[in-house]
Structure 1
Amino acid sequence: MSSQKLQGPPQAPPQAPPRFSDTPSTVLSKARDLIERSRKAKDELVAHVPLEGATFANVLLPLANDENSLAVDFEILKFYQSVSTDPELRDASGEAEKLFNEFVLETETREDLFNLVKWVFQKSNVEELDLESRRLLERKYKDYYRNGLGLPESQRSRFNEIKKRLNQLRIDYKRNINSEHGGIWLTLQELDGVPADFISSLQSRKTDGNHLGKVWLSFKSSDVSMALKYAKTEETRKNIFIANENKCSQNACILKEAVVLRDEAARLLGYSNHASLRIEEKMAKNSKTVEIFLDDLWSKFTSSGHRELAEQKQVKKADSESRGEPFNGFHLWDHSFYSRLIRQKELSIDQEKIAEYFPLQTTVQGMLGIFERLFGLVFREMVVDKGSDIVWHEDVLVFNVWDDDDLGNGFVGYLYMDLFSRDGKYPNPSNWNLQPGFIRQGNTRYYPSTALLCQFPKPSPAKPSLLRHHDVVMIFHELGHGIHDLVAKTTYSTFHGTKSTEDFAEAPSQMLENWCWLPSQLKSLSRHYSTLSAESCSLGKEEPQSKPSEQIPDEMITGLIQSRNWKRALYHLHRIFLSVFDMKIHAPRTHQEIMDLDISSKYNSLRKAIRLTDGPETLGQGDGWGHGEANIPHWMGTYDAGFYSYLWSEVYALDIFYTAFRSDPLNAKEGRRYRHLVLEKGDSQDGMKTLTDFLGREPSKESFFKELGLT
């Protein structure tokens, strides 16, 4: 895969790419060495800087430099647990993350460091600091308070116990998700209706002498999604849905313990609950604002949700009667199947036909071309020798990224793409910052590295991996995070790129999703897989009368555009449900309330109330039938009390798009202005200032409501 546009003279990057040559033992030894080096540096700082002599330059700057150094090495040590095929290396990486998090807690609860930072903070009005440095000082001061240093000793001891336990719970939860490789055996009859190509890929994955004549459907999201959309037999869909909901069931207890401990810790600090603590520094500022926002959306979508559900029920009823089967109601496992049928009939959309125009390789290449034109970037794919340690797996692609001629041909950073499915890999499409960018000592820049992870099936000799349109949108979104990481130009690593508050960090990527709904961009990204190679041209030779066009036909594009917000109320209600559930478990009125809460039952009952659709509880299984909340990494990542951010930041994303790009999506002048005023800022200033600087006004919800048909 290579870039569409290569400008400027070939040159070696000024910074070598990171290396991925670690073993389980080196991961842990490196982790311990890094921690000891950092601890020693902090001890020396405290020993040599008297309280009265503390300044930003001799306290905050050394702490920031140490944090920069740790981030360069530790992010990769923690990354192995999400990508390595070696379970021992994954376990060692998880242990390294635990050690690192414990050390961070140790650092953030050191009273001697806090006293120095507090002294600088209290006299900071006499120091002239740039805005980012002042933000760093304020952030560090508040972080110490949020880590219990304002508490009396008796409470501080309990607070530290909680933080250590939460660290372990996060690691266990993530390990369980990464190590999950369950699935379900199904006969070909049970998979009636599922595309033959997909079934063929299942047949090649796993065999078992005890299940002759069956294929193995894994619980990877892409596999489950395909089966629920296409399997004609309701019993098959039900079995898949319930089994998938109950994977990683051990995480249900982990999440329950975590939310109880979070609530206790927040109350020790004087907050009313964990959500109040977490949202205070975000754009929303308080949980009440979030609750009003979600309630408003919930009320706006409910009536149209009921209409969509009634239509799907009618279609299912007619389908059941045509099969001579009784109609036994409409359930969660029915939505994907009947929504697809209705969409295909009313909009003439065949996602499998559309996917033929979006081979993974050429589509991603086209996306890079769009980023080049908009943001003044150049992507050069590196040649990687087999067995090279500049990648962590032989399937990984790596690019060095440059500014184009107009921006001076400067080096930007490294972009990795790990696109194909394998066991032990993080299951969800995602972007990972491997090394942040920052200004190091000597006033030179350290350049970032960022990685895109996906779980697509590998191509066959005759047919590449094909992307359904929602896959195209997803990759564009995650690459948007990668671009944010690459072009950010902050002084300190703690503010780099996507390290913005969650309710702003999603906006840049959500804004870029709009390109996947523009006819001109869909056309430019598309190329029918049969035109890519002699082998894949066999389709056209066998059926010359139906040989497809090279680019996606206009009528397919029209159908896609019409489908964007077509009958999407139930989809948005599902997003609202996840956000409301997140707030319910993180904003209890009393601590006893969260201790008494059965969160699996709450998850299922709340989903039924907001999503409007029955689950197995109507079949006599009760609200505790499944543990879907145990499979969502957000709760135990950085999105605790933050899932609303996806909806919240979409408001800003659409405002940016409508204002600057809707009329001219490849406007390079606006793209570069957006790069400089938004992406490069990272979290170095308040997100609201970033938005108003770019928009020239306060952000508005008008475009959001207009796009979703809520005006």
Structure 2
Amino acid sequence: MTQTAPAPSLDFSINAAQVESITNDIIAEELAVNDEISALKPEEQTYENIVVRLARMENELAGKAQLVSSLSQISPDADIREASVAAETKYDQFSIDQSMRHDLFTVIQSYISKTDLDTLDAEDARLLRKLERSFIRNGLHLSEEKRDEFKELRKRLSEVCIEFNKNWSRESSTVKFTKEELEGLDDDFLDGLKKEEEDGVTKYILTMKYPDVRPVLKLCKNENTRKVHNTAYESRNQENIALLEEAVKLRRQAAKVLGYKSHAAYVLEVKMAKTVEAVETFLNDLADKLYAPGRKEIERLKELKKVRSIVTEKAERGEEFDGSFNAWDSSYYERILLENEYSVDQEEIKKFFSLETTIQKMLDIYEKVLGLKFVKVSAENATVWHPDVQLFECWDAVEDKSFSGYMYLDLFPRDNKYSHAACFPLQPSYITENGERVAPIAAMVANFTKPTASKPSLLKHDDVVTLFHELGHVMHHLCSRTKYARFHGTSVEGDFVEAPSQMLENWCYDPKSLKYLTSHFETGEPISDEIIERIVKAKNVDAAIQNLRQLFFGIYDMTIHTSEDENLDTTEVYNALREKISLVAAPKGSFGQAAFGHLMGGYDAGYYGYMWSKVFSSDMFFSRFEKDTLSAEAGFSYRKNVLEKGSSRDGMDLLKSFLGREPSSEAFMREDIGVTN
């Protein structure tokens, strides 16, 4: 390849002072443009000095704004994180002020009223329509008194959400156990833990992060250890309860000011679902369908627990079966069920999924299916925010062989880092005035187990699914080709955004792809056909329980965001709905909603979207890829019709273009729910 990739447009080596300086520059430039446009007289209002000016400003500033806000979640430097939080707060407050400018709204509305939008380029017309709608959704059609009230509510809501997320990302509580209390965990896991001496006894220190919590809940034979760790995990971030309840109240008040019945009604107006009624019908219908099979799965796991209490580890400890099945039992007995009845041993399977090899082979699959080429940038040539971070170039391999963008991988846990797995869209792509495309930058941030001196990082199969999913969001960014940054990548409707990534999870259950992905970390041998068959068969084991858990989160989200209760007790609602919907009670005294980050991170009144978009993801995969999962033809069509378009068209239109028909729920009901029409 003779072309050279351009330098990344974002500099991750900036210090705390530069974070503040960049933020001030963004605000100054945006303010100047908005002031100039809002001062235009009717006869001065043109396409060039309104549409072009606004679009150019948004294009050029979007990546810088993403950079300074993202550092709060990924930087290892405490001063930079603090500066990033301050910058995000400052910019959010400024953005709220600007989005409430009546003078700017008046000029844009005036221009739209005398312009035939159908004569404009499709993205130009869409940009103007979106601008007008966003101003109206910000209350600019209201009286000045009501506008001021709405603006103050939004400002306080922004502060509350930032504070919640700061607490959530910096959560650092721990629990301590002796080696005996951690029976069932292997030496590799224990060797990776910090230890301390207490009264001459060695105690292992475990955090509330996934690499610590998941192994304990799946593998630890001591039920009390699982109970203690799970209860602590579900009881973290207590300080966030008041912040969540304030946010729910502020959202309710803001929606009422705008004339909406509820915050959920306001949010859903611009989603695919459109109405609260449509979402509630969808969620409740699924919950009803899954109740009986969920009960059956719970009883099977409970019976397994009863048997173990008589003949195995519980009996050896003299622990009697009390007839209960608890939150800390689910992962443990599900693992035993998979091992006993499906011979699926995750500890054995993970030996075939070393992280580095799996990523490379996963990228090979993306290359083949989507028509891309990835090139790893050497450590000495990559400017990154932490030594663990890797940088890749992405190139088109089918059409013009052009540079597609940069991908960063930040995959291991560290203190004060974002604690889950997600794609961070750092620099959206767009087309400059001279017709050149500014390349996108996206990062996958995750918390997989770190390699040791003697062993690489090994992934359980569900980690592989997570990796495929989040990399799918990255592909959405890298493949996107839009004129404006506003419409780039995953900026699609919130209840469609997960569908492209959910579709790609299906490769993790495709025998041909699994065979290719695997390589034993010691021998290099691929996984056997027999084990692959077991993994595929086990895909829908306890599917009802798992889907009910997702439904619980979605129903809880909709419940608190449609409630009229001014004194809503979010803990009481959370624990009551959890037992009713998921069929398993929360640990006594816990308050899981305090660490339900989605509620304060853009998924408020939108969590249902995970299940909603699953309908579309199943339809896309089973109609176009099931016969040949590595089809370059189907993959390129998917890239062109879905990923490339970003949100420059409605999600439903993208689906129809790719499928060649109206979408259907048939594949979802058959493959994911087990119901045939």
TM-score by length of 2: 0.97
Match of 2:598 in 1: 634
Match of 1:228 in 2: 217
Match of 1:390 in 2: 383
Please state how far the C-alpha of 1:243 moved relative to its aligned partner.
0.7
Worse-matched range after superposition: 318-327 or 644-653: 318-327
For structure 1, which runs of at least 5 residues remain unmatched after alignment? Answer: 1-8, 533-549, 618-624
SS of 1:302's equivalent in the other structure is helix
C-alpha distance in 1 between matches for 2:383 and 2:200: 41
CA contact (8 A) 1:503 1:642 kept: yes
Any idea what the Cα deviations from partners look like across 1:290-310, whole Å, max 9, x if unmatched?
000001110111000111111
Change (3 A) 1:647 1:435: same
2:651 corresponds, among 672, 684, 687, to 687
Match of 2:125 in 1: 134
Please state how far the C-alpha of 1:127 moved relative to its aligned partner.
6.1
Tell me, yes or no, if structure 1 residue 579 matches structure 2 residue 579.
no
CA contact (8 A) 2:118 2:125 kept: no
Tell me, yes or no, if structure 1 residue 116 matches structure 2 residue 116.
no
Name the amino acid aligned to 1:701.
Answer: S
Match of 2:90 in 1: 99
Name the amino acid aligned to 1:150.
Answer: H
CA contact (8 A) 1:402 1:412 kept: yes
Please state how far the C-alpha of 1:55 moved relative to its aligned partner.
3.4
Match of 2:608 in 1: 644
Match of 1:620 in 2: none
Name the amino acid aligned to 1:444.
Answer: E
Paired residues in the alignment total 669
CA contact (8 A) 1:19 1:389 kept: no
1:72 corresponds, among 63, 69, 72, to 63
CA RMSD in angstroms comes to: 1.5
Please state how far the C-alpha of 1:569 moved relative to its aligned partner.
0.8
Please state how far the C-alpha of 1:17 moved relative to its aligned partner.
4.7
Match of 1:412 in 2: 404
1:245 corresponds, among 234, 241, 246, to 234
C-alpha distance in 2 between matches for 1:430 and 1:615: 25
C-alpha distance in 1 between matches for 2:209 and 2:479: 32
Please state how far the C-alpha of 1:201 moved relative to its aligned partner.
1.5
CA contact (8 A) 1:184 1:240 kept: yes
C-alpha distance in 2 between matches for 1:233 and 1:399: 43
Q: How does 1:298-377 map to 2 (within 5 A)?
A: 298-322=287-311, 323=315, 324-328=318-322, 329-377=324-372
C-alpha distance in 1 between matches for 2:613 and 2:69: 28
1:513 corresponds, among 505, 508, 511, to 505
Any idea what the Cα deviations from partners look like across 1:263-288, whole Å, max 9, x if unmatched?
11011101000011111111101111
Any idea what the Cα deviations from partners look like across 1:138-190, whole Å, max 9, x if unmatched?
11101111112122122222111111111111111111111112220111111
Please state how far the C-alpha of 1:51 moved relative to its aligned partner.
2.7
Please state how far the C-alpha of 1:616 moved relative to its aligned partner.
4.1
Match of 1:703 in 2: 667
Match of 1:541 in 2: none
Please state how far the C-alpha of 1:340 moved relative to its aligned partner.
1.1
C-alpha distance in 2 between matches for 1:18 and 1:367: 26
Tell me, yes or no, if structure 1 residue 403 matches structure 2 residue 367.
no
SS of 2:205's equivalent in the other structure is strand
SS of 1:124's equivalent in the other structure is coil
C-alpha distance in 2 between matches for 1:616 and 1:369: 43
Tell me, yes or no, if structure 1 residue 192 matches structure 2 residue 190.
no
Match of 2:567 in 1: 596
Name the amino acid aligned to 1:554.
Answer: D
Worse-matched range after superposition: 210-219 or 301-310: 210-219
CA contact (8 A) 2:241 2:593 kept: yes
C-alpha distance in 1 between matches for 2:19 and 2:561: 34
Worse-matched range after superposition: 182-191 or 354-363: 182-191
C-alpha distance in 2 between matches for 1:362 and 1:126: 51
Please state how far the C-alpha of 1:646 moved relative to its aligned partner.
0.5
Tell me, yes or no, if structure 1 residue 606 matches structure 2 residue 586.
no
Tell me, yes or no, if structure 1 residue 217 matches structure 2 residue 214.
no
SS of 2:446's equivalent in the other structure is strand
Name the amino acid aligned to 2:363.
Answer: L
C-alpha distance in 2 between matches for 1:314 and 1:32: 62
Change (3 A) 1:133 1:360: same
C-alpha distance in 1 between matches for 2:211 and 2:71: 23
Any idea what the Cα deviations from partners look like across 1:171-230, whole Å, max 9, x if unmatched?
11111111112220111111111233212212xx35466784110111002311110111
Q: How does 1:33-52 map to 2 (within 5 A)?
A: 33-47=25-39, 49-52=40-43
SS of 2:328's equivalent in the other structure is helix
2:192 corresponds, among 182, 190, 201, to 201
CA contact (8 A) 1:18 1:390 kept: no
C-alpha distance in 1 between matches for 2:579 and 2:462: 25
Please state how far the C-alpha of 1:596 moved relative to its aligned partner.
2.0
Change (3 A) 1:389 1:161: farther
C-alpha distance in 2 between matches for 1:357 and 1:74: 40
C-alpha distance in 1 between matches for 2:195 and 2:480: 43
CA contact (8 A) 2:76 2:385 kept: no
SS of 2:414's equivalent in the other structure is coil
SS of 2:522's equivalent in the other structure is helix
SS of 2:138's equivalent in the other structure is helix
CA contact (8 A) 1:21 1:389 kept: no
SS of 2:514's equivalent in the other structure is helix
Match of 1:545 in 2: none
C-alpha distance in 1 between matches for 2:310 and 2:390: 51
CA contact (8 A) 2:167 2:240 kept: yes
Match of 1:437 in 2: 429
SS of 1:325's equivalent in the other structure is coil
Name the amino acid aligned to 1:24.
Answer: A
Name the amino acid aligned to 1:440.
Answer: T
Match of 1:161 in 2: 152
Name the amino acid aligned to 2:116.
Answer: N
For structure 2, which runs of at least 5 residues remain unmatched after alignment? Answer: none
Name the amino acid aligned to 1:23.
Answer: N
CA contact (8 A) 1:634 1:643 kept: yes
Match of 1:490 in 2: 482
Any idea what the Cα deviations from partners look like across 1:541-580, whole Å, max 9, x if unmatched?
xxxxxxxxx0101111111000111221111100000000
CA contact (8 A) 2:93 2:158 kept: yes
Match of 2:271 in 1: 282
SS of 2:181's equivalent in the other structure is coil
Q: How does 1:23-34 map to 2 (within 5 A)?
A: 23-34=15-26
Name the amino acid aligned to 1:347.
Answer: Y
C-alpha distance in 2 between matches for 1:568 and 1:191: 28
C-alpha distance in 1 between matches for 2:592 and 2:419: 15
